[in-house]
Structure 1
């Protein structure tokens, strides 16, 4: 049973969108093979702390939450993880770059030697 909805652009190749991010939830995209097996999963993970933030007893104007970097990580069927992009916000800001990235990612997994 496939999880998520087929991608409008790459659904015929087995790409399913489970969660496209936003409102604090991470991106989660799965690539399925012809027999409904998960070939790879693309997700957003929290990286290193950029700014530790500040909190004081009086909740003054200098208070701010901590900020963390994020990266796109692929999880293969055997459980290995690889960082595939270190700035998902830049991809999200450029739809053409995002579509090109996804197309390359799908193509790479569809044409891997087994």
Structure 2
């Protein structure tokens, strides 16, 4: 599992939730370029992706590149419910889109569904 969020405290929360599920986190990234590099190096089955990232590229830019090169399932976690943002997210055919704040049980169900979708659950 790869965690992508430019807010360190939020990334740490997602990492904690994932580890409590008994899953391994291969890394955390704050930028799209870091996310792409980590995904290509570790080839995670699932990526937790924030929409707004540090730098010039956003989560959709990262997700599209990761999907093309690695094929990971991407779960977007965003604080925005703006139609334009959600439409941009949906250009990547995400595994799921969760709106912050996200409780651990919902994240667990969503991750398990994504893992099942790629034959890993």
> Normalized against structure 2, the TM-score is what?
0.35
Higher helix content, 1 or 2: 2
- Richer in strand (by share): 1
Larger Rg: 1
Instruction: Considering Cα pairs closer than 8 Å and 6+ residues apart, tell me whether 1 or 2 has the greater RCO.
Output: 2
